[in-house]
Amino acid sequence: MQEIKHILVKHMEQADCDKDSPLPTSASSTTTAPTHGTEGILVSGGFGKRDEKSVELFIPETNQTCSFPDLPVARLAHTMNMVGDDLVVCGGIDDQYSPTKSCVHLSPPSTSVWTSYATMRRRRASHSAWASPSGELLMVGGDGSDEDAEIVNAGTSTGREFRLEQKTWLHCGIDAKDSVIITGGDGSERLVARYNLEGHVENLPAMNQGRSRHGCSSYLSDGTMVLIVAGGLSMNREVLSSTERMTIGSAAWTTVNALPRTLYDMASLTVGNLVYLTGGRDNYVSRSEVLVLDGEDWREVGQLKIARNEHAATMINTASLMEFCK
């Protein structure tokens, strides 16, 4: 029933509308090919002008954009990670409007076509994925499999899996290098928990606001990891603009300056030790803005080519994937 409700809600909403480094200034995006060796934000799929299979690159440093090869089929509520030199997309709701087990990848040097990477043991959407230093992918929760996690390698799932401490989907995951930190989600409310390839590591202080379909990431301050969560939906489905921050080792989260608008179903990541949010939706309206946490405030630094929500995003070094940029 959760899965059916989620899909129906998506179609109803879509029918209603179609502190540590300098920051770039806001400007209109261009389509000039990005500079080699620059970190970029790659986004894929989601709801856009249609059920999207498009992939695009945004370069915060230069405000440039380009298009990557389309996904084989439209996907939303999926994940995208760099695993070594492989760009890997897993799970999500596919063009048949069902959670999928498939993972596809782009792997240079290659033709500009996404090919099969692995098949997960379980169907997953609205999950999170962590690329471990060993090259294994940890898939956590999600619609269709909200009680467990599994480990995936190129070719297939390894068959290794474990139970989660609490059911969760529509949550947000933060890469902590040697582990992943799961924040909120349906079934998890205010929970913040750390997992690695062996299973549950610890619970961290609970967020002040229970939230799902939110953004999350981290940055380093004086060598210490600082966690950020922003926006999303409250447990009673109120659309949020609030932002919370917690320094690892602290006893509690603190509320900081809010987003410029209510926002949910965005993608989030860290580039150059700065936390970015891309796209999302404000009630029924898909957004194209790229926001960055600038000290204590969020500000707009660019626009995606296509307004989209429930998409995936990851940081890439354009030097290794430049051949795909058109």
Which CATH number does 2-324 carry?
A: 2.120.10.80
* Rounded CA separation 17/11 (Å): 10
pLDDT band at residue 14 using 50, 70 and 90 as cut-offs? very low
* Rounded CA separation 134/255 (Å): 35
114 touches 326 (CB < 8 A)? no
pLDDT band at residue 283 using 50, 70 and 90 as cut-offs? confident
Mean pLDDT of 280-290: 93
Angle in degrees, CA 264, 298, 52, rounded to 5:
40
Mean pLDDT of 15-35: 41
Give the pLDDT of residue 121.
Answer: 93
pLDDT tens, residue by residue, 52-109: 899 999 999 888 889 999 999 999 999 999 998 899 999 999 888 889 999 999 987 6
Mean pLDDT of 110-129: 91
Q: Which residues contact 166 (CB under 8 A, 6 or more apart)?
A: 187, 188, 191, 193
Tell me the three state secondary structure of residue 56.
strand
pLDDT band at residue 38 using 50, 70 and 90 as cut-offs? confident
Tokens of 273: 């030790």
250 touches 205 (CB < 8 A)? yes
Please check the confidence at residue 15 and state whether its pLDDT lies above 50.
no
* Residue 137 φ/ψ, nearest 5 degrees: -100, 130
Beta bridge partners of 80: 89
The structure's pTM equals 0.88
* Rounded CA separation 293/212 (Å): 20
Give the pLDDT of residue 32.
Answer: 43
pLDDT band at residue 37 using 50, 70 and 90 as cut-offs? low
Please check the confidence at residue 6 and state whether its pLDDT lies above 60.
no
What b/e string do you get for 15-27 counting C-beta neighbours within 10 Å, with b at 16 or more?
A: eeeeeeeebeeee
Class of residue 299 by CB neighbours under 10 A (exposed 0-12, middle 13-18, buried 19+): middle
- DSSP line for 217-247: EEEEETTEEEEEEE--B-TT--B---EEEEE
259, 262, 311: which is closest to 284 by C-alpha?
A: 262
135 touches 83 (CB < 8 A)? yes
Tokens of 275: 């936390």
Give the pLDDT of residue 110.
Answer: 62
Beta bridge partners of 286: 281
Tell me the three state secondary structure of residue 277.
strand
Domain-wise residue ranges, the chain: 2-324
